[in-house]
């Protein structure tokens, strides 16, 4: 198990946060949550997570903008980001990559794939 | 013969001639009065020779004005009703100057009516100019009907866009709750939320399967909406047919094995390359092979192949499954068509697959069709255009020159260019302008020495008309000085007469954005004067 690995989940849907948290904790990760872009950016800066799961569409500051800011900063650039998008378009991949995300999943996604993606980005 | 008899005979002859004249007059005036058009005949100085009642009615000209036959008062009455009398006057003046021209245009009246105006010169058998005939026809009704059709076309387009946008938004909004539902069923199904007994596990796995089915349906609806809204980018390139097929073939082999189906690849050697977007065509093949796999019973045979058919490559997926009844063969391409087809076990389709791939094939320049004999399998095939290096685009060229010999030589030259050209000719600048208005030429070859081409208005309008449509203007003249000054006024290039066919072709090819495929041969005998 990956004890101590901390994942920041930035997502505005409480139910979704709850569901993903349950799955991640079952897989041995510690989870911290933020419900909008601004709070997410603060949490990323202050709580030094090992990985960030970031929804593309968020209140106050969009997910892509959060990614751009973190990836544009030397201090936080190394934190892997998994983008969650609600559109299945080729442009999702491009937009996610442009924003600097390390991986992206389109909602609804296969939950096993989420854990697989995380474990690839967080070698144990 | 005595004098009396001679006189009598002459009187008889006169009488006959008079009778003939009376008959012709009656015929003419009946023709004129029964015509649907308003008709006005004027002499070479613009004086009124005759007009019909319809003319007076259309223009609301008082009967005393008509009786007076005063051209000034008649003209004033006409001008009073026009929305733009200056343009009208300008055209009239022009036609008195250039007697042998005919013209046709539309006049808009202050009250919103539209008249079609046609004018032709009147020449006698000996070539003598007698004046001009003007015809006016009220086309307000057909014009209004046309406007109505155009505006309903516009609102249909808008409606279709709204629909596509709605589907795009809806599919986006549906994803979030679906993702949440799927996540919680997963938490149950995986045992994370607690252990499940077998019956409960059956329930959760069925729920998960159908979440995925709903997600796929949402994806397909979005795909179709994007195709309909013209938002799908097709990126065509030169593709080898065998490479196009072999990838899908190898991807599907293991899947076919699960139903003990034989998948056969039929690609003849030496097939010409096709022009298509390989990514979107791959999705078409996946759909067709997936359907064949689904509808063909265990142990069946499926063939993926292609062959050349004229200027196209035909790609086909053939199976020996149950086939499709004739009445359903066209309907299966409709979105969500309810067709009795035995899918066998496993997930149901979305009902959108064939609709989408038919559109994709269309975007790639081909067409998708099906042929099937119930009980004897189905064959889906689509065409793709062969790759060609030639520019197949037809380009429009307008040649304006008043010298027939010169036009002939230019035409001969253009025909040798090897380009696909649609060529129209004009002998005056004004005529060129009228043609350019509907023809939208890619290139205008304009003689600077036309009787009217240098009339500043005509030149400017022709230039603007052409440039607005991103066309090019090539001026030709014997006077190099004039040509140089024209280049400063926006003409793209010029040629000094006499020039050779090759010189012309180099300029034409360059202006039309093609590399010339003739070499300049200085010794060419065909020089244009």
B319 has pLDDT over 90: yes
How many other C-beta atoms lie within 10 A of the C-beta of residue B52?
19
Under the banding of pLDDT at 50, 70 and 90, the label for residue B468 is low
DSSP letter at A106 equals E
pLDDT of residue B458: 63
B526 has pLDDT over 70: no
pLDDT of residue B522: 36
B370 in Cβ contact with B324 (< 8 Å): yes
Taking the Cβ of residue B193 and every Cβ of chain A, the question of whether any pair is shorter than 8 Å is answered with yes
pLDDT of residue B343: 57
B340 has pLDDT over 60: yes
C-alpha to C-alpha distances, B21 to B17, B18, B129, B444, nearest whole angstrom: 6, 5, 21, 49
Contact A19 B215 (CB under 8 A): no
Of B62-66, B366-370, B386-390, which gets the smallest average pLDDT? B386-390
Contacts of B170 in chain A (CB under 8 A): none
B90 in Cβ contact with B84 (< 8 Å): no
Which tokens hold the place of A97?
A: 């990559």
Nearest residue to A14 via CA among A29, A32, A31, A33: A33
pLDDT of residue B49: 86
How many other C-beta atoms lie within 10 A of the C-beta of residue B101?
18
State the Rg of chain B over Cα.
36
Under the banding of pLDDT at 50, 70 and 90, the label for residue B293 is very high
CATH number of B148-228: 1.10.287
Taking the Cβ of residue B90 and every Cβ of chain A, the question of whether any pair is shorter than 8 Å is answered with no
Q: Which residues of B23-50 are buried (b: 16+ CB within 10 A; e: fewer)?
A: eeeeeeeeebeeeebbbbbbeeeeebee
Under the banding of pLDDT at 50, 70 and 90, the label for residue B511 is confident
Under the banding of pLDDT at 50, 70 and 90, the label for residue B316 is very high
Higher pLDDT, B427 or A21: A21
pLDDT of residue A75: 92
Percent of chain B at pLDDT above 70? 88
* Cβ burial, residue A38 (10 Å; 0-12/13-18/19+): middle
Taking the Cβ of residue B231 and every Cβ of chain A, the question of whether any pair is shorter than 8 Å is answered with no
Contact B180 A111 (CB under 8 A): no
Q: For the residues B329-351, what does the mean pLDDT come to?
A: 71
- Helix%, strand%, coil% for chain A, nearest 5: 45, 20, 40
Of A13-27, B268-282, B511-525, which gets the smallest average pLDDT? B511-525
CATH number of B237-385: 3.30.565.10
Contact A107 B179 (CB under 8 A): yes
Q: Which residue of B has its CA nearest to A109?
A: B179
A2 has pLDDT over 50: no
Contact B187 A19 (CB under 8 A): yes
Model confidence over B65-74: pLDDT tens digits? Answer: 888 878 888 8
How many other C-beta atoms lie within 10 A of the C-beta of residue B224?
19
CA-CA-CA-CA dihedral for B208, B212, B214, B216, to nearest 10: 180
Continuous segment of H or E residues that includes residue B274: strand B274-276
- Residues 6 or more apart whose CB falls under 8 angstroms from that of B137 comprise B36, B37, B38, B115, B116, B118
B473 in Cβ contact with B463 (< 8 Å): yes
Best of B167, B179, B181, B186 to disrupt the A interface by mutation (most A CBs within 10 Å)?
Answer: B179
Angle ∠(A13,A18,A22) on CA atoms, nearest 5 = 150
pLDDT of residue B326: 87
Contacts of B180 in chain A (CB under 8 A): 13, 15-16, 19
Max Cα distance, chain B (Å): 141
pLDDT of residue B266: 92
B275 in Cβ contact with B238 (< 8 Å): yes
Q: Which fold has domain A6-121?
A: Rossmann fold (3.40.50)
Pick one of 3.30.450.40, 3.30.450.20, 1.10.565.10, 3.90.25.10 as the CATH number of B35-138: 3.30.450.20
Contacts of B186 in chain A (CB under 8 A): 23, 111
Tokens 């037809």 belong to B394
Continuous segment of H or E residues that includes residue B34: helix B3-34
B451 has pLDDT over 80: no
Distance from CA of A29 to the nearest CA of B (A): 14
Q: Which of B172, B184, B222 sits opposite A19 (nearest CB)?
A: B184
B449 has pLDDT over 80: no
pLDDT of residue B202: 92
Nearest residue to A33 via CA among A49, A52, A10: A10
Contacts of A109 in chain B (CB under 8 A): 179
A83 has pLDDT over 90: yes
- Residues 6 or more apart whose CB falls under 8 angstroms from that of B118 comprise B102, B103, B104, B134, B135, B136, B137
Contact B184 A107 (CB under 8 A): no
DSSP letter at A72 equals T
Under the banding of pLDDT at 50, 70 and 90, the label for residue B457 is low
Percent of chain B at pLDDT above 90? 19
A4 has pLDDT over 80: no
Across chain A, the runs of DSSP E, i.e. the strands, are 6-10, 30-34, 51-55, 81-85, 103-106
Higher pLDDT, B163 or B346: B163
Angle ∠(B501,B504,B506) on CA atoms, nearest 5 = 110
Under the banding of pLDDT at 50, 70 and 90, the label for residue B464 is low
Maximum average pLDDT range among B146-160, B281-295, B338-352, B499-513? B281-295
B434 in Cβ contact with B526 (< 8 Å): no
Q: Which of A86, A89, A108 sits opposite B182 (nearest CB)?
A: A108
Beta strand B312-319 with B378-385 is antiparallel
Distance from CA of A16 to the nearest CA of B (A): 5
B456 has pLDDT over 60: no
Taking the Cβ of residue B229 and every Cβ of chain A, the question of whether any pair is shorter than 8 Å is answered with no
Q: Which fold has domain B395-511?
A: Rossmann fold (3.40.50)
Indicate the SS3 state at residue B227: helix
Higher pLDDT, B242 or B468: B242
B181 has pLDDT over 70: yes
Model confidence over B3-31: pLDDT tens digits? Answer: 777 777 777 778 888 888 888 888 888 88
B48 in Cβ contact with B42 (< 8 Å): yes
Q: Which is it for the CA torsion A15, A18, A21, A25, positive or negative?
A: negative
pLDDT of residue B191: 92
Indicate the SS3 state at residue B334: coil
Which tokens hold the place of B374?
A: 């119930």
Contacts of A106 in chain B (CB under 8 A): 175
Distance from CA of B238 to the nearest CA of A (A): 22
B523 has pLDDT over 60: no
> Rounded distance, CA B320 to CA B311, Å?
29
- Helix%, strand%, coil% for chain B, nearest 5: 50, 20, 30
Model confidence over B186-211: pLDDT tens digits? Answer: 999 999 999 999 999 999 999 998 89
pLDDT of residue B409: 83
Model confidence over A28-52: pLDDT tens digits? Answer: 999 999 999 999 999 999 999 999 9
Which tokens hold the place of B23?
A: 């008959």
pTM of the full structure: 0.54
Q: Tell me the sheet residues that pair with B120.
A: B133
Domain boundaries defined on chain A: 6-121
The mean pLDDT value of chain B amounts to 82
Q: Which is it for the CA torsion B270, B271, B276, B277, positive or negative?
A: negative
Model confidence over B218-246: pLDDT tens digits? Answer: 888 888 887 877 777 777 788 888 888 99
Contacts of B212 in chain A (CB under 8 A): 108
Nearest residue to B511 via CA among B442, B423, B419: B442
- Residues 6 or more apart whose CB falls under 8 angstroms from that of B211 comprise A108, B178, B181, B182, B185
Contacts of B182 in chain A (CB under 8 A): 108, 111
> Rounded distance, CA A107 to CA B174, Å?
10
Taking the Cβ of residue B186 and every Cβ of chain A, the question of whether any pair is shorter than 8 Å is answered with yes
Across B320-441, the runs of DSSP E, i.e. the strands, are 368-372, 378-385, 395-400, 421-426
């Amino acid at each position: 198990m990956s004890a101590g690995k901390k994942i920041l989940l930035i997502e505005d849907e409480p139910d979704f946060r709850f569901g993903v948290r349950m799955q991640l904790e079952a897989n041995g990760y510690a989870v911290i949550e933020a419900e909008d872009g601004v709070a997410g950016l603060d949490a990323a800066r202050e709580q030094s997570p090992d990985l960030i799961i970031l929804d593309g569409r968020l209140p106050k500051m969009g997910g892509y903008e959060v990614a751009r800011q973190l990836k544009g900063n030397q201090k936080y650039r190394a934190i892997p980001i998994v983008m969650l998008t609600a559109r299945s378009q080729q442009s999702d991949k491009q937009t996610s990559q442009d924003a600097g995300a390390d991986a992206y999943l389109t909602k609804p996604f296969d939950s096993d794939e989420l854990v697989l993606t995380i474990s690839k980005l967080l070698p144990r | 013969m005595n004098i009396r008899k001679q006189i009598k005979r002459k009187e008889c002859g006169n009488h006959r001639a008079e009778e003939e004249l009376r008959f012709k007059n009656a015929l003419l005036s009946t023709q004129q009065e029964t015509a649907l058009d308003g008709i006005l005949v004027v002499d070479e100085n613009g004086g009124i020779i005759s007009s019909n009642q319809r003319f007076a009615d259309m223009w609301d000209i008082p009967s005393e004005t008509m009786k007076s036959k005063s051209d000034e008062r008649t003209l004033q009455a006409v001008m009073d009703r026009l929305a733009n009398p200056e343009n009208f006057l300008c055209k009239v003046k022009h036609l008195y100057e250039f007697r042998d021209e005919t013209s046709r245009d539309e006049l808009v009246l202050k009250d919103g009516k539209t008249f079609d105006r046609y004018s032709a010169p009147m020449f006698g058998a000996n070539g003598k100019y007698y004046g001009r005939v003007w015809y006016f026809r009220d086309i307000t009704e057909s014009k209004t009907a046309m406007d109505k059709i155009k505006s309903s076309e516009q609102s249909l387009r808008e409606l279709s866009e709204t629909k596509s946008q709605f589907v795009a938004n809806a599919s986006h909004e549906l994803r979030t709750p679906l993702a949440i539902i799927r996540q919680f069923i997963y938490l149950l199904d995986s045992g994370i939320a607690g252990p499940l007994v077998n019956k409960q596990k059956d329930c959760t796995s069925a729920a998960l399967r159908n979440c995925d089915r709903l997600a796929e349906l949402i994806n397909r609806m979005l795909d179709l909406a994007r195709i309909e809204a013209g938002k799908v980018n097709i990126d065509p390139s030169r593709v080898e047919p065998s490479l196009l097929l072999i990838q899908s073939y190898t991807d599907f082999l293991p899947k076919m094995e699960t139903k003990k189906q034989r998948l056969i690849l039929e690609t003849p050697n030496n097939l010409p390359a096709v022009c298509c977007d390989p990514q979107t065509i791959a999705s078409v093949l996946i759909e067709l092979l997936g359907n064949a796999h689904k509808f063909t019973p265990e142990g069946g045979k499926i063939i993926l192949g292609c062959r050349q058919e004229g200027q196209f490559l035909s790609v086909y997926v053939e199976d020996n499954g149950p086939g499709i009844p004739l009445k359903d063969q066209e309907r299966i391409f409709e979105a969500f068509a309810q067709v009795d087809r035995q899918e066998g076990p496993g997930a149901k389709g979305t009902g959108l697959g064939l609709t989408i791939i038919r559109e994709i094939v269309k975007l790639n320049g081909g067409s998708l069709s099906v042929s099937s004999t119930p009980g004897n399998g189905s064959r889906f095939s689509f065409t793709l255009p062969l790759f060609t290096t030639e520019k197949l685009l037809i380009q429009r060229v307008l040649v304006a020159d008043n010298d027939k010999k010169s036009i002939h030589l230019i035409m001969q030259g253009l025909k040798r260019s090897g380009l696909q050209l649609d060529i129209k000719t004009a002998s005056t600048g004004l005529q060129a302008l009228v043609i350019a208005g509907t023809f939208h030429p890619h290139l205008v070859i304009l003689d600077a020495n036309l009787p009217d081409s240098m009339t500043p208005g005509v030149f400017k309008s022709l230039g603007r008309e052409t440039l607005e449509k991103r066309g090019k203007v090539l001026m030709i003249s014997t006077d190099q000085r004039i040509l140089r000054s024209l280049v400063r006024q926006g003409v793209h290039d010029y040629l000094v007469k006499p020039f050779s066919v090759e010189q012309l072709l180099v300029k034409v090819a360059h202006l039309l954005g093609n590399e010339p495929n003739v070499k300049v041969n200085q010794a060419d005998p065909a020089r244009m004067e």
